[in-house]
Amino acid sequence: MIVNNNSPALFDQGFNISSLLSGAITSPLLVVFFVLFSVLEWRFPREKLPTDNLRASFKTNISLFIFNSMVLSLVSASTLLVLAEYYSDKWLLVYLPNPAWQVVVSFLLFDLSLYIWHWASHRFDILWLFHRVHHSEPYLNVSTAFRLHLLDVLVITLVKASYIVVFGFDKSAVFTNEVINTLFLMFHHSNLTFKGERFVGYLIIVPYLHRIHHSKQRHEHDSNYGAVLSIWDRLFGTLTKLEPKEIGIKGDVPKDFTGLLKFGFNAETPVLEQPISVEVMQTMIAEAAYYKAEKRNFYPGDEIRDWLEAKREIIKQVYGDKAIRNRVKNKVADFSQDQICC
C-alpha cells in the first residue's frame, strides 16, 4: 500500500470513512439532537409557549418535513453525493491538497453560499413567495427548522449542487457540511436561551440573533441571514441585535400542512394590518439619515445624499411590494415638499 506523504494518512482515512456513512447513521443522530433540543425547550424555555399551539406547530412542521423528504430524498441527498464524487478532483480542490484545508474552506464557502441564498430569498419576490412559508411560524421552536415549502427546499438543493460543481469539493466535505448545517438550523430556531449566548453570538448564529429574523416587521426580518457563522452578517452589514415584538408574517396565513403548501403558490401580497403614516415614515428616515451622518463623523456636504439613501432603504425595508413602494415614495416626497414650502 502506497501512502501519500503530502497529507496525513490517518486524517485522510478518517474522512474517507466519514464520507461512507449512510443515512442509517446520520438520521438517528439528527433525531437524537431534535429530541434533545425539544426536551431542553420544554425544561428551559426562552418564553412559555401555548401548549396547543406548540403541538399544532410540531404537527405541521413534521408533516412538511416528511413530505419534502419523500419527494426530494433522491435529489437532495444521493444526487449531491454523486455530484461531489464526480467533481471532487476539479476546480478549487486541485489547489488544496491538504485535507484539513479542504474541510475548512469547503465549510466557509458552503456557509457563505447559504448566506447569499438566504439574502436573495428576501430580496427577490419569486424566492420570497416560497420562503415566506418558513417565516409563517408564529411560535419559534426546534421544529421550525423544517417548516419549509417543497419548492424552497428544491431551490436550496440547486444552490448546494451549484456549490459542489463550481468548487469541486468531495463527498466527505458535503456530508459534513450537511450535518453541521442541519444541527445549527435546529439550534438557532429553538426556544432556548443560555448564559453567554450573546458572547457566543459574536461567532455563530444563536437563538437570540435568529429571532429578529422571524419578526413580523419586514425592516427587522430582513437581517441576520447567517446559517452557522455570524461573521457574514457582520461583514456585509446585515446584523441586527433586537428583540422582536411579534413573530411570523402579516396577513391571513394558514397554519396547517395543506394550507401552507398552497400558500407557497399564492402570489397575493398581504395587506398591512397597521399602515405606517407618512409622518412616522419621515421620522424613521430622519433617524436613519442621522445614523449615516454619524458614521462619517458629521462631515458636512453629504446631508442630502444621506437623506435620500436613508429614504430609499427605509421604504424598501418596510414595503416589499414595488407598487406600494412607489406610492409611499411619492407620498413621502410630497410631504417633504410641503414641509420645505411651509
154 in the same domain as 39 = yes
**Whole-angstrom distance, CA of residue 316 vs CA of residue 162:** 29
- Rg (Cα) of the chain, in Å, rounded? 23
Q: Which residues pair with 95 in a beta bridge?
A: none
DSSP 3-state of 229 = strand
Question: Do 83 and 106 fall within a single domain?
Answer: yes
**270 in any annotated domain:** no
What is the widest separation between alpha-carbon atoms in the chain? 88
**202 and 286 fall within a common domain:** no
Question: What's the total number of domains in the chain?
Answer: 2
Q: Domain boundary at 263, 290, 324, which?
A: 263
Residues 27 and 108 in one domain: yes
59 and 177 share one domain: yes
pLDDT at position 74: 57
6, part of any domain: no
Residue 223 carries which side chain, given as an amino acid letter? S
Contact 109, 167 (CB under 8 A): yes
Check residue 261 and give its pLDDT.
Answer: 87
Q: How far apart are the first and last CA of the chain?
A: 88
Confidence at residue 31, expressed as pLDDT on a 0 to 100 scale? 85
Q: Which residues of 35-50 are buried (b: 16+ CB within 10 A; e: fewer)?
A: eebbeebeeeebeebe
| Cα(301)–Cα(267) distance, integer angstroms | 43
Co-location of 92 and 173 in the same domain: yes
Does 90 share its domain with 161? yes
Domain boundary among 239, 263, 287: 263
Q: Does 2 map to a domain?
A: no
- At 181, the amino acid letter reads N
Residues 300 and 253 grouped into a single domain: no
Length of the chain: 342
Q: Which of 26, 57, 64 is nearest to 41 (CA)?
A: 57
Residue 232 φ/ψ, nearest 5 degrees: -65, -40
Q: Which pairs with CB-CB distance under 8 Å and at least 24 residues apart come from 319-327?
A: 319/218, 320/125, 320/128, 320/218, 320/269, 321/269, 324/269
Distance CA 134, CA 226 (A): 15
Residue 50 lies in a domain: yes
Do both 233 and 322 map to the same domain? Answer: no
Structural domain contains residue 272: no
Q: Which domain-ending residue is among 263, 297, 332?
A: 263
DSSP assignments along 11-39, one per residue: HHHHHHHHHT--HHHHHHHHHHHHHHHHH
Judge whether 242 lies within some domain: yes
For 57, 161, 184, the CA distances from 253, given in Å and listed in that order, are 13, 31, 26
* Residues of the domain holding 26: 12-263
Task: Examine residue 5 and state whether it is found in any structural domain, yes or no.
Answer: no
Q: Domain check: are 180 and 250 in the same one?
A: yes
pTM of the complete model? 0.70
What is the residue type of 86?
Y
CB 169 within 8 A of CB 16: no
In this structure, the answer to whether residues 251 and 195 fall within a common structural domain is: yes
Cα→Cα distances 35→109, 186, 237, Å: 29, 10, 35
Grid cell in block for residue 300: 458636512
Per-residue model confidence (pLDDT) at position 36: 92
Pairwise CA distance, residues 149 & 265, whole Å: 10
| Residue 229, beta-bridge partner list | 204
Closest Cα partner for 17 from 175, 168, 167?
175
Residues 292 and 248 in one domain: no
How confident is the chain (342 residues) per 10-residue block, as mean pLDDT? Answer: 37 36 58 90 89 92 89 63 68 68 85 94 90 93 94 87 79 82 94 91 94 90 93 93 88 86 71 55 74 68 76 68 50 50 47
pLDDT at residue number 57: 94
